[in-house]
């Protein structure tokens, strides 16, 4: 895929976006192995950083922050290695000489650290989502994260009867989530 095709597929959402994320993941996964030996991090840590980088890159594209001033591979490599260096920094400050190895990237938006949420907020969100049934979680994820527009397709993915069922569930599930959050906030206050 060319850089333009990757951007188009991510922005299109739905099955095209999912396939593109798999493509991106497979395309650069050799970086996991090289980070293990180069940055002295474990395979689990390298893989965590790599998956975070894919997700971070997707987010930058979806928010229109990736301006295409650098090649996707360079941009992605930089996000990934910043994640790795974050891990190293947390472990020992004397091991961060790798920072110098970053390639030059013109996009100033490459730093995705601001997107990270606190552990407490994360746990809270997961608690809200846990209160929804599995079908609801999936419907909301396909519709509002991957951007599937076709309810027929969502019905097939979450294995409900048809597009009408999926369509009405979509609103019902969203209302349920809104209610869960509202109740939790009322309890906190």
Partner 1 sequence: MENSDALLQKIESYFSDNMSEKERKSFEQEISRDTELAAEVALFRQSHEAIQVFAETELKNRLKKRYYEETPAKPVRRLFRQPWAMVAAASVCLLIAASIWIFFPKNSSPLSPEELFQTYYKPNSAIAHRGDDNPVIEAVNEAYLNEDYEKVIQLIGKLSPDSIGDRAPYIFMLLGSSYLAHKEPEEAISAFDKVQEGSAYQWKAKWYKALALLQLGNAVEAQPLLKDLTQSREFGEDAKIILSRIEE
For partner 1, the binding residues (CB under 8 A) are: 21-22, 25-26, 29-34, 36-43, 45, 47-48, 50-52, 54-55, 91-92, 95, 97-98, 117, 122, 125-126, 128-129, 137, 140-141, 144-146, 168, 171, 174-175, 177-178, 181-182
The residue (of 105 and 137) whose beta carbon lies closer to partner 1 is 137
Least separation in angstroms between residue 4's CB and partner 1 is 22
The residue (of 119 and 161) whose beta carbon lies closer to partner 1 is 119
Of the candidates 43, 144, 148, the residue with the CA atom closest to the CA atom of residue 87: 43
**135 exposure class (CB count in 10 Å sphere: 0-12, 13-18, 19+):** middle
One-letter-per-residue 3-state SS of the chain = CCHHHHHHHHHHCHHHHHHHHHHHHHHCCHHHHHHHHHHCCCHHHHHHHHHHHHHHHHHHHHCCCCCCCCCHHHHHHHHHHHHHHHHHHHHCHHHCHHHHHCCCCCCHHHCCHHHCCCHHHHHHHHHHHHCCCHHHHHHHHHHHCCCCCCHHHHHHHHCCCCHHHHHHHHHHHHHHHHHHHHHHHHHHC
Least separation in angstroms between residue 19's CB and partner 1 is 12
Least separation in angstroms between residue 50's CB and partner 1 is 8
The residue (of 33 and 69) whose beta carbon lies closer to partner 1 is 33
The residue (of 106 and 171) whose beta carbon lies closer to partner 1 is 171
The residue (of 69 and 81) whose beta carbon lies closer to partner 1 is 81
Q: Which residue has the tokens 């895929």?
A: 1
């Amino acid at each position: 895929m060319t850089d333009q095709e990757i951007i188009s597929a991510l922005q299109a959402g739905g099955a095209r976006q999912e396939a593109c994320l798999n493509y991106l993941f497979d395309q650069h996964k050799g970086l996991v192995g090289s980070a293990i030996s180069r940055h002295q991090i474990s395979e689990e840590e390298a893989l965590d950083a790599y998956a975070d980088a894919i997700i971070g890159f997707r987010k930058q594209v979806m928010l229109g922050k990736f301006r295409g001033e650098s090649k996707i591979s360079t941009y992605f490599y930089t996000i990934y290695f910043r994640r790795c260096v974050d891990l190293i920094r947390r472990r020992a400050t004397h091991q961060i000489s790798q920072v110098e190895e970053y390639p030059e990237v013109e996009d100033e938006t490459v730093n995705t650290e601001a997107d990270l949420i606190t552990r407490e907020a994360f746990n809270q969100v997961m608690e809200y989502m846990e209160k929804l049934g599995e079908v609801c979680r999936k419907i909301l994820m396909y519709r509002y994260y991957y951007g599937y527009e076709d309810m027929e397709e969502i019905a097939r993915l979450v294995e409900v009867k048809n597009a009408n069922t999926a369509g009405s569930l979509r609103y019902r599930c969203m209302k349920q989530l809104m209610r869960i959050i509202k109740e939790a906030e009322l309890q906190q206050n």
